[in-house]
Structure formats: structure tokens, C-alpha cells
């Protein structure tokens, strides 16, 4: 996807990222702006080749983008939900998801190593298929399915019909509470990297570029983040999904 023909995304990023980095709110609004520019360019290209979107849809971000906690550099975590359940609609939105992923990569956002992107059928589904998928994850209750539910809990719509995502999150939160999965979600934090040993000693990196350093993101922030998600689900506050809003949910 060649954005240089019809977009100045790179220019916007270089010009504004330094100033925006002094404010978390401004920085994350800046990221939203870049995402919107990329999506608009991707939608323009796909519409030109395959016609207008066959149904209403919502493009949403997850991970640090969903929580509005992105730093200057961030990778991709996003998905699509659309109303029309047909093979043609699925094919169309997967193409759109691929264009978005490629455009974001050109704009400086690395592709997600776990493929949590709208170019992956797992994260690009019709409303009905999403409802079935959420029910499947809740029913399985495996470590991986709970991990997917926790990823989805961060979802935030930034383009299209936000009501589609809102209804999906209502369903997900209701099913999690009905199946009493909150304790299992909290147990997932037990698998996080430990920062303190049994004798109280700090556990530092033993190899690589950061040997001797402590990975605060993996040893401290991850556990706080996952516990915060469980509290938000318990309070059913799907609108305040970022950690900085955590104190308003308790």
C-alpha cells in the first residue's frame, strides 16, 4: 500500500510526535489521528478496487492503543466487526484489514507478533461470528481463550459504528460474569514474569542487551493491567478501559 501518493502520514508523525510526547493525552490522540489517516487511505483504496463497504462496520484498537497508553513507539493491535454475515463481506473486510495493517507498518507501527490485527480472520468477523467467538472463548476457559478475552477487553472503536463494539463488549462482560471467570482471569496474572525472588531479591535480566536491568513492564505493569481489567469487567465499565481511568472504576 503506497501512502505517499495520497497521504502525508509520515510528515504528520515526524512533525508532531516530539511535541505530543510531553502529554500522554496529546500523544494518544496523535496516534488516533495517524490511525484514522491510515484507515481513510486504506478504505479509499479498497473502495476504489472493490466498491463501498458492504455493511456498517467498526474498526477498533486494543492493547496499549485501546487503553490510550501508547508511548512514542507502538505496535499494532486492532480488529474489525461488521454487520453483514456473508463470505463476500468477510473477504472485503479482510482486504481492508490487510491494507490497514500494511499502511500502519509504513507509518511506523510494527505488525503485531501475535497477529492481533484486522488482517487475521480471528480478529475480523461479522457481528454474529464475533458473538459466537466470544461465547466459545468463555466456554473453553483455557489459558489462551482467557488471554484473548483480556485482549478484547481493551477494545476501543476509533472509526465506524461504535455501537457494534459496545454491544459486543456488553455480551462479553455479561458472559464472563455469568460464568464466573473473573478468578480465572486473575489467575492468569500468576503466569507473569516475576520481578522479586523468594528471598526478596530483585530478578534482573540475565542475557541480551538489558542484562542486569529490571523489566518493569513485564514484572510490574502487566499484573496491574490485568487486575485492572478484571475490576473494570466486574464494574462493567466498558467506556473507561485505560489504566489511567482505573481509579474512577473502584
Kindly report, residue by residue over 183-206, the tens digit of the pLDDT: 666 666 656 667 676 666 777 777
- Can you give the residue ranges of every domain in the chain? 3-183
Distance CA 1, CA 137 (A): 33
The whole-number pLDDT of residue 25 equals: 81
The most confident of 3-7, 112-116, 186-190, by mean pLDDT = 112-116
pLDDT higher than threshold 50 for residue 246: no
The whole-number pLDDT of residue 144 equals: 87
Distance CA 1, CA 23 (A): 31
The whole-number pLDDT of residue 139 equals: 86
CB atoms within 10 A of CB 174: 14
pLDDT tens digits for range 7-65: 566 555 666 665 555 677 888 888 898 999 999 999 999 999 999 999 999 999 998 89
Mean pLDDT of the chain: 81
Closest CA to 208 of 198, 222, 218, 196: 218
Question: What homologous superfamily is domain 3-183 in, according to CATH?
Answer: Beta Polymerase, domain 2 (3.30.460.10)
The whole-number pLDDT of residue 143 equals: 81
Amino acid at each position: 500500500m503506497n501512502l505517499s501518493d495520497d497521504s502525508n502520514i509520515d510528515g504528520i508523525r515526524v512533525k508532531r510526535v516530539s511535541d505530543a510526547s510531553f502529554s500522554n493525552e496529546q500523544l494518544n490522540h496523535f496516534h488516533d489521528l495517524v490511525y484514522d489517516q491510515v484507515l481513510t487511505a486504506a478504505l479509499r483504496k479498497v473502495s476504489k478496487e472493490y466498491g463501498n463497504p458492504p455493511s456498517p462496520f467498526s474498526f477498533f484498537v486494543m492493547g496499549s492503543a485501546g487503553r490510550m497508553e501508547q508511548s512514542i513507539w507502538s505496535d499494532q493491535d486492532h480488529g474489525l466487526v461488521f454487520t453483514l454475515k456473508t463470505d463476500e463481506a468477510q473477504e472485503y473486510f479482510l482486504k481492508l484489514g490487510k491494507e490497514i495493517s500494511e499502511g500502519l507498518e509504513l507509518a511506523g507501527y510494527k505488525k503485531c507478533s501475535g497477529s492481533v490485527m484486522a488482517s487475521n480472520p480471528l480478529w475480523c468477523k461479522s457481528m454474529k461470528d464475533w458473538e459466537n467467538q466470544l461465547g466459545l472463548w468463555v466456554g473453553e476457559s483455557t489459558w489462551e481463550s482467557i488471554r484473548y478475552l483480556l485482549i478484547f477487553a481493551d477494545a476501543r472503536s476509533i472509526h465506524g459504528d461504535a455501537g457494534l463494539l459496545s454491544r459486543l463488549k456488553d455480551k462479553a462482560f455479561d458472559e464472563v460474569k455469568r460464568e464466573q471467570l473473573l478468578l480465572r482471569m486473575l489467575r492468569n496474572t500468576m503466569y507473569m514474569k516475576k520481578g522479586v525472588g523468594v528471598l526478596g531479591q530483585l530478578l534482573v535480566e540475565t542475557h541480551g542487551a538489558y542484562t542486569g536491568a529490571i523489566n518493569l513492564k513485564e514484572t510490574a505493569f502487566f499484573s496491574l493491567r490485568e487486575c485492572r481489567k478484571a475490576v473494570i469487567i466486574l464494574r462493567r465499565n466498558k467506556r473507561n478501559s485505560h489504566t489511567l481511568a482505573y481509579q474512577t472504576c473502584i
